[in-house]
């Protein structure tokens, strides 16, 4: 092979150097030559012509010569040798270094690998350990869990037993109490009419009859005095004794036709008065609209008549008055309010009734200033001490001057509903009438402090003013100076009155009534000094309706100081809370309280009930009281007569049930705006509260005809019933069951939005302050 290669080399060299014209032939010749000469002759130049061969020199020998023109000897110098050595050693070093580096890298890699492996091993180890731990923990948890479930189950069992026990006990108690309640109410229903007597024994009709017949005559007479004319006539038919009793003249000295005004006719009046005319002292014909000449004629025959009320008698005019004035010389009281009398009657008054002391001309619009002159002329009404001119807007300053001239002894002055009343009118009066003690000016917005200056000479004991924007603290200052005996101050809705004014009347000693309703600037700063003042312990009535600045501080002070307070009104005093109301619970004098619209809750209500003396309670619009609070309150308060819990939509039947159960003396109940009330509660109420006079169930949308039936059966005394927005009460039922009531209101409209719920009792989200117009 090597030989072949060698020959190939020789052949190729030959071809390259010789550059034969025909290479194949050349190659053939040379190959032959080679084969003859044998392989030994194989030199690289054997195929080259010897002529050319001389030019060829072996590079190995001559290479450096040809390059540098140097001999071999010349080449091998010491420098070169050193260089070569240096080069050689460097190469060697490089080689070694590389090898060393390689070795190190190798070792490093190895180390890293082992490290990595070690780390893995550690992780693995840890993992294994954790696994073991977890396994063990798992087992422990399992065991524990089982233990726990076992324990829980046992506890649950125990708890269930206990709670079951409690529930059973409660159920038992509830069952017992409801059994009692049921029995109680059944008993009441059974007693029916006779149930009204507070007695435990069964009262049958027979026993009642015996008892009433065996009453002493004087007692019976007293009872008859409270019976109206129609019923008196019925009583007369019961028995001979009763008939005789109804003929006792003492019953006929005071005749009230007003109580049967719808049935009264001339004939009846004439008959009665003809028979009893010498005895009649007092006659009330208020609102008897169908009287004519014959009646008035017989009135004039009652020579001893002292007190005559002709208010709202539509048939009355100057002519009828003339007839009356022909008799009755001893008349003391005359009420002509809401009639059509004119100047003529005033003239008769001064002529025919010289003793007249009390006169009401309220809302008589047809007389004039000039007519009032008659009061002073002739014999005149000089003895008049009481005068009511309410609503007589036709009277001017001249008229008042005329009154002052005629009636200088006036003590009580009533001028309500007269927007035209000015300070000058009062000045004209006060000039001559220095004995005025009591003034009532409701709805006179033009009066000012000047009025009080004019009245400074009078020793006022009563002042009533309402809806006035001009009266200021100055009036209070005048009062504290000039009216040391004042007992009654009513300054409602006077916006200019402030705490400072109230402070000024603190030294007054005899104030019994203080009404500052709607004086919104009044607050603790006035109430506290006043209550601490001289009248605090005397005060009987305090009305702070809408005084939002009054807080618990005042209420606590009131509770501590006002030991004689019987009436307290804190309606809409939003800043009064349980803390204040609880203090009131200690007041044994308090009988009537209105805390509607305050933020009172069950706690306060319970504390309030503690004294057990409360007879009248208003807690309308109190969102924070519940059935439970009312139940607690009722338990202690057996004497409750008046209970208004309207617009508390959270209250349910339980409230009314509690009322019915504990408070049998209720006469006035208002549950308007409580949509959860059902027929059931009315059943309770009707069964237990037979004295009920007034009931408002407006907006109790669940009530049906049944409720009316219960009321009809149970509450025989009911006079006023309001059932607005009760669509499930039918017109027929209203007609059937409320015919005997004095007044009823019913409609089946949807509840208005301000009630806060819709026709199905669903709560409406927006909140608007309910109006109290329904009350
Ligand atoms: C009226 O009753 C009283 C009290 O019972 C009695 O004293 C008087 O005699 C009676 N009068 C007549 C007229 O019967
Ligand atoms: C007369 O009856 C009316 C209506 O019942 C009542 O309001 C009034 O107080 C009675 N008057 C007297 C003097 O009894
Ligand atoms: C009728 O007038 C008299 C005085 O004249 C009074 O006492 C009585 O209360 C009046 N009655 C009514 C129902 O107003
Ligand atoms: C007169 O009658 C009216 C009712 O019509 C009553 O309010 C007023 O008190 C009576 N006045 C007197 C003095 O009786
Ligand atoms: C009485 O009053 C009428 C108006 O009602 C008036 O026209 C008349 O002049 C008055 N008469 C006297 C004498 O005052
Ligand atoms: C207290 O004031 C309010 C609001 O003016 C009124 O409705 C209420 O009748 C007053 N109470 C008394 C007892 O006058
Ligand atoms: C409280 O009222 C009673 C009875 O009305 C009276 O005797 C007593 O003097 C009054 N107390 C005060 C401090 O005025
Ligand atoms: C009273 O209540 C009103 C809002 O109802 C509040 O603006 C006022 O600050 C309160 N006053 C006091 C003294 O708490
Ligand atoms: C109520 O009165 C009792 C003693 O009569 C007293 O101990 C208690 O503190 C009073 N409570 C309040 C709230 O004033
Ligand atoms: C009812 O009580 C809650 C707290 O108990 C109070 O935030 C809320 O103002 C109270 N509502 C009224 C109307 O007072
Ligand atoms: C009330 O009346 C409505 C229809 O006006 C009726 O659908 C509903 O059942 C009635 N509810 C009761 C309790 O009778």
Higher pLDDT, 191 or 164: 164
Whether 217 is in the pocket of ligand 1, judged by its Cβ within 6 Å, is: yes
Confidence (pLDDT) at 614: 94
Report how far apart, in Å, the C-alpha atoms of 697 and of each of 268, 647, 668, 774 are. Answer: 38, 11, 11, 10
Confidence (pLDDT) at 72: 59
In this structure, are residues 595 and 620 in contact, taking their beta carbons and an 8 Å threshold? no
Closest ligand to residue 511's CA: 7
10 confidence band (pLDDT: 50, 70, 90): confident
Higher pLDDT, 354 or 530: 530
What's the CA-to-centroid distance between 560 and ligand 2, angstroms?
Answer: 39
Angle between helices 524-532 and 552-561 (to 10 degrees): 10
| Nearest residue to 371 via CA among 388, 386, 349 | 349
* pTM, entire model: 0.73
546, β-bridge pairs: none
619 confidence band (pLDDT: 50, 70, 90): very high
Confidence (pLDDT) at 446: 93
Q: Which residues contact 585 (CB under 8 A, 6 or more apart)?
A: 607, 608, 609, 610, 611
**What is the rounded distance in angstroms from the CA atom of residue 645 to the CA atom of residue 276?**
47
Contacts within 8 Å (CB) and 24+ apart, 120-126: none
**What is the rounded distance in angstroms from the CA atom of residue 514 to the CA atom of residue 538?**
11
41 confidence band (pLDDT: 50, 70, 90): low
Helix intervals (H) in 192-292: 205-213, 217-225, 229-236, 240-246, 266-276
Q: Which residues contact 116 (CB under 8 A, 6 or more apart)?
A: none
pLDDT digits (tens, 9 = 90+) for 519-574: 999 999 999 999 999 999 999 999 999 999 999 999 999 999 999 999 999 999 99
Whether 704 is in the pocket of ligand 11, judged by its Cβ within 6 Å, is: yes
Confidence (pLDDT) at 775: 41
| Nearest residue to 669 via CA among 705, 706, 688, 696 | 696
Whether 309 is in the pocket of ligand 2, judged by its Cβ within 6 Å, is: no
pLDDT digits (tens, 9 = 90+) for 238-294: 888 889 999 999 999 999 999 888 888 999 999 999 999 999 999 999 999 889 999
Pocket probe mutation, ligand 7, options 513, 560, 564, max atoms within 8 Å of Cβ: 564
Mean pLDDT of the region 79-100: 89
In this structure, are residues 333 and 305 in contact, taking their beta carbons and an 8 Å threshold? no
Angle between helices 679-688 and 78-191 (to 10 degrees): 40
Residues with CB under 6 A from ligand 8: 548-549, 551, 574-575
Q: Is the pLDDT reported for residue 190 higher than 80? A: no
204 confidence band (pLDDT: 50, 70, 90): very low
What's the CA-to-centroid distance between 550 and ligand 8, angstroms?
Answer: 9
Q: Is the pLDDT reported for residue 773 higher than 70? A: no
| Nearest residue to 471 via CA among 505, 447, 439, 499 | 447
In this structure, are residues 734 and 611 in contact, taking their beta carbons and an 8 Å threshold? no
**What is the rounded distance in angstroms from the CA atom of residue 745 to the CA atom of residue 721?**
6
Max CA distance (Å), the chain: 199
Whether 727 is in the pocket of ligand 11, judged by its Cβ within 6 Å, is: yes
In this structure, are residues 408 and 435 in contact, taking their beta carbons and an 8 Å threshold? yes
pLDDT digits (tens, 9 = 90+) for 435-484: 999 999 999 999 999 999 999 989 899 999 999 999 999 999 999 999 99
Report how far apart, in Å, the C-alpha atoms of 202 and of each of 186, 209, 427 are. Answer: 12, 14, 67
What's the CA-to-centroid distance between 559 and ligand 10, angstroms?
Answer: 23
Length of the chain: 775
What's the CA-to-centroid distance between 626 and ligand 10, angstroms?
Answer: 12
Confidence (pLDDT) at 213: 66
Report how far apart, in Å, the C-alpha atoms of 478 and of each of 118, 488, 498 are. Answer: 107, 15, 15
């Amino acid at each position: 092979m090597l030989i072949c290669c060698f020959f190939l080399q020789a052949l190729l060299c030959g071809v390259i150097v010789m550059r034969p014209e025909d290479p194949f032939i050349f190659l053939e010749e040379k190959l032959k030559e080679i084969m003859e000469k044998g392989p030994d002759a194989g030199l690289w130049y054997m195929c080259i012509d010897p002529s050319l061969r001389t030019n060829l020199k072996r590079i190995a020998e001559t290479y450096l010569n040809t390059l540098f023109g140097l001999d071999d000897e010349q080449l091998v110098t010491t420098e070169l040798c050193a260089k070569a050595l240096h080069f050689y050693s460097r190469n060697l070093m490089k080689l070694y270094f590389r090898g060393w580096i390689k070795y190190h890298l190798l070792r490093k890699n190895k180390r890293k690998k082992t490290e990595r492996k070690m780390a893995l091993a550690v992780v693995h180890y840890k993992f294994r350990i954790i696994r073991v731990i977890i396994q063990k923990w798992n087992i422990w948890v399992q065991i524990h869990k089982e233990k726990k479930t076992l324990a829980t189950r046992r506890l649950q069992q125990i708890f269930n037993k206990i709670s079951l026990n409690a529930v059973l006990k409660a159920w038992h108690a509830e069952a017992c109490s409801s059994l009692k309640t049921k029995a109680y109410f059944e008993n009441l229903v059974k007693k029916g009419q006779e149930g009204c007597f507070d007695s435990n024994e069964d009262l049958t009709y027979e026993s009642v009859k015996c008892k009433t017949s065996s009453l002493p005559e004087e007692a019976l007479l007293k009872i008859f005095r409270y019976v109206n004319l129609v019923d008196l006539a019925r009583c007369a038919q019961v028995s001979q004794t009763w008939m005789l009793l109804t003929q006792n003249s003492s019953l006929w000295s005071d005749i009230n036709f007003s109580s049967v005004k719808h049935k009264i006719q001339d004939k009846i009046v004439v008959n009665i008065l003809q028979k009893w005319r010498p005895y009649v002292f007092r006659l009330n014909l208020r609102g008897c609209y169908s009287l004519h000449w014959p009646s008035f004629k017989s009135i004039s025959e009652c020579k001893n008549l002292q007190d005559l009320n002709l208010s709202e008698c539509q048939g009355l005019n100057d002519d009828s008055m003339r007839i009356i004035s022909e008799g009755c010389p001893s008349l003391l009281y005359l009420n002509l309010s809401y009639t059509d009398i004119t100047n003529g009657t005033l003239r008769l008054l001064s002529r025919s009734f010289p003793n007249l002391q009390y006169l009401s001309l309220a809302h008589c619009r047809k007389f004039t200033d000039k007519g009032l002159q008659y009061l002073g002329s002739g014999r005149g009404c000089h003895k008049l001490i009481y005068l009511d001119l309410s609503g007589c807007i036709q009277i001017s300053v001249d008229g008042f001057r005329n009154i002052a001239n005629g009636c200088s002894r006036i003590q009580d002055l009533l001028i309500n509903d007269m927007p035209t009343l000015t300070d000058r009118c009062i000045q004209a009066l006060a000039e001559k009438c220095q004995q005025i003690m009591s003034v009532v000016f409701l709805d006179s917005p033009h009066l000012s402090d000047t009025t009080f200056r004019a009245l400074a000479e009078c020793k006022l004991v009563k002042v009533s003013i309402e809806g006035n924007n001009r009266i200021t603290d100055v009036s209070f200052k005048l009062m504290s100076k000039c009216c040391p005996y004042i007992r009654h101050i009513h300054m409602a809705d006077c916006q200019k009155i402030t705490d400072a004014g109230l402070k000024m009347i603190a030294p007054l000693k005899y104030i019994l009534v203080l009404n500052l309703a709607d004086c919104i600037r009044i607050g603790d700063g006035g109430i506290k000094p006043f209550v601490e003042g001289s009248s605090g312990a005397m005060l009987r009535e305090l009305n702070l309706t809408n005084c939002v600045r009054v807080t618990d501080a005042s209420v606590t002070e009131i509770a501590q100081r006002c030991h004689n307070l019987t009436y307290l009104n804190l309606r809409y005093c939003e800043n009064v809370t349980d803390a204040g109301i609880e203090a009131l619970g200690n007041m044994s004098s308090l009988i009537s309280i209105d805390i509607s619209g305050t933020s009172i809750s069950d706690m306060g209500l319970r504390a309030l009930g503690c004294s057990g003396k409360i007879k009248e309670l208003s807690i309308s619009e109190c969102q924070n009281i519940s059935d439970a609070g009312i139940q607690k309150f009722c338990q202690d308060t057996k004497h409750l007569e008046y209970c208004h819990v309207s617009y508390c939509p959270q209250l349910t039947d339980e409230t009314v049930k509690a009322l019915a159960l504990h408070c049998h003396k209720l006469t006035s109940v208002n549950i308007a705006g409580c949509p959860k009330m059902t027929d059931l509660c009315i059943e309770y109420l009707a069964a237990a509260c037979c004295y009920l006079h007034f009931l408002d169930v407006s907006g109790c949308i669940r009530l049906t005809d049944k409720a009316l039936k219960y009321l009809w059966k149970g509450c025989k005394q009911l006079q006023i019933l309001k059932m607005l927005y009760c669509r499930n009460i039918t017109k027929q039922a209203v007609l059937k069951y409320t015919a005997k009531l004095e007044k009823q209101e019913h409609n089946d409209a949807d509840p208005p939005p301000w009630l806060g719920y819709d026709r199905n009792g669903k709560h409406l989200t927006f909140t608007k302050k309910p109006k109290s117009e329904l009350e």
